[in-house]
Amino acid sequence: MDKICINGGKELQGQVTVSGAKNACLALMPLTILASEPIKMTNVPRLSDINTMKQLLISLGSIIREDLFKGSLHLHTPKISSHDAAYDIVRKMRASILVLGPLLAREGRARVSLPGGCAIGARPVDLHLFGLEKLGATLDLKDGYIRARASSRLRGNTIEFPFISVGATENLIMAATLAKGTTVLKNSAKEPEIIDLCNCINSMGGKIEGMGSSEIVIEGVDNLKGTQHEVLGDRIEMGTFMLAPAMAGGQVIVKGCPPTYLTAFTRKLSETGISVETGENEITVTRKNDTLKPINVVTEPFPGFPTDLQAQMMALTCLAKGKSTLEEKIFENRFMHAPELIRMGARIEVQGGIASVTGVDSMKGAPVMATDLRASVSLILAGLASKGETVVSRVYHLDRGYENIERKLATCGAQIERVV
Ligand code: UD1
């Protein structure tokens, strides 16, 4: 199994460009099965989660051609050949649930295994099911599968989510796009990846308004046509790379995503005393030899501080002077990186959903184990700032969401390599 070895303590200098957003792509790909015409996506990241989604769509009847060199995917589903999203594929990735809405809208039936994914909490799918029922679907759960049927076309409705869910908002948008009449989604998620999804749907002939706000209005259309769409840049990858010079020292320019998608994160990073300069599509992060100030972070749905950057920010607070707190409000079990950071010398106490971090002067390299996607990258960041060698094992978690991270960091001067 691959490992990442880091010889820490080297200042970073350089620039990196983030890849296309994994989370945007994982919704855009299932969207393509709503249309029988081909769709071309560019700026698609090369990640194992994208491969899993490809595998799933192919099992449903999609024909997918990949241009590895250009990072583009051509997806074409002239006919759905199976309505079954099998356990073997779905268990690898929770986002597989996003085929449920499109299959149901196009075909009036679907059978989708209950999903797996990162071990960061229970992560139920009740909101997806609640919304689809409101659009007229009949659902039952049997043998670990969701069986969904609609006797005729789905019908538009007003749906108010009891709390915010990114995936449920996406599934409902896709299902409502081919429903009869108008759907109003209240208390929707506002993530940039949802705006990207809606922009793509509108370029296919869909009629969506209000994306990026908490109320999204979808006027159903009879069908969608093919299109070409460039996936937006990955804001979580951008935030992760911003933390690399913040931890190790030096200056890195991170390009490829509008900084406005990271405002809450950037504000917290600046509070630590790190210099952050934003341009139109890039951010420059500089750390001289300054002392880091402690911060208090609370994760929230967009535009709040993203849960997907909590583990990485925790790595930085381990080196601040004083006590920081990180409160995780989205997932109940998302502090699995804490025991590994402690092995590298950090002082962290976790009680319920709050981690209290007392900064230390320095951390030391150690063998550590990745437990989920964002936890794995927090260990790499800690390794960049630690004395001696850090070896991160179980990096298959990392490969779900970061394309070539070791190469991108190495171009900035990090001593990092993958050992196969
Ligand atoms: C998406 C992102 C993930 C990110 C998360 C929150 C993708 C592929 N993944 O995940 O990286 O961490 O948003 O920003 O885009 N919930 C329920 N019932 C439901 C649905 C969700 O209880 O039916 C709960 C979840 O367990 C969680 C919270 O709601 O506690 C938010 O989850 P949600 O926004 O749905 O996250 P995902 O779409 O799974």
Cβ of residue 95 lying under 6 Å from some atom of ligand 1:
yes
pLDDT at 118: 44
Q: How far is the CA of 169 from the centre of ligand 1 (A)?
A: 10
Task: Judge if the upstream peptide bond of residue 303 is cis by omega within 30 degrees of 0.
Answer: yes
Cβ of residue 309 lying under 6 Å from some atom of ligand 1:
no
pLDDT at 116: 57
Cβ of residue 144 lying under 6 Å from some atom of ligand 1:
no
- Number of neighbours of residue 151 by Cβ within 10 angstroms: 9
Query: What is the rounded distance in angstroms from the CA atom of residue 16 to the CA atom of residue 179?
Result: 42
Q: Are 70 and 45 in contact (CB under 8 A)?
A: no
Q: Which of 25, 118, 318, 412 is flagged as catalytic?
A: 118
pLDDT at 142: 87
Q: Are 215 and 186 in contact (CB under 8 A)?
A: yes
Cα–Cα nearest to 318, from 402, 386, 245: 386
pLDDT at 117: 45
Query: What is the rounded distance in angstroms from the CA atom of residue 126 to the CA atom of residue 201?
Result: 25
Which stretches of the chain drop beneath a pLDDT of 50? 117-120
- Torsion angle in degrees (nearest 10) through CA of 161, 164, 167, 170: 60
Is 118 an active-site residue?
A: yes
pTM (predicted TM-score): 0.96
Q: How far is the CA of 7 from the centre of ligand 1 (A)?
A: 35
Query: What is the rounded distance in angstroms from the CA atom of residue 331 to the CA atom of residue 59?
Result: 31
Strand partners, 148: 110, 139
pLDDT at 120: 43
Query: What is the rounded distance in angstroms from the CA atom of residue 239 to the CA atom of residue 410?
Result: 17
Which residue's C-alpha comes closest to atom 5 of ligand 1?
A: 166
Cα end-to-end span (Å), the chain:
7
Cβ of residue 21 lying under 6 Å from some atom of ligand 1:
no
Cβ of residue 33 lying under 6 Å from some atom of ligand 1:
no
pLDDT at 357: 98
- Number of neighbours of residue 9 by Cβ within 10 angstroms: 16
Q: How far is the CA of 269 from the centre of ligand 1 (A)?
A: 24
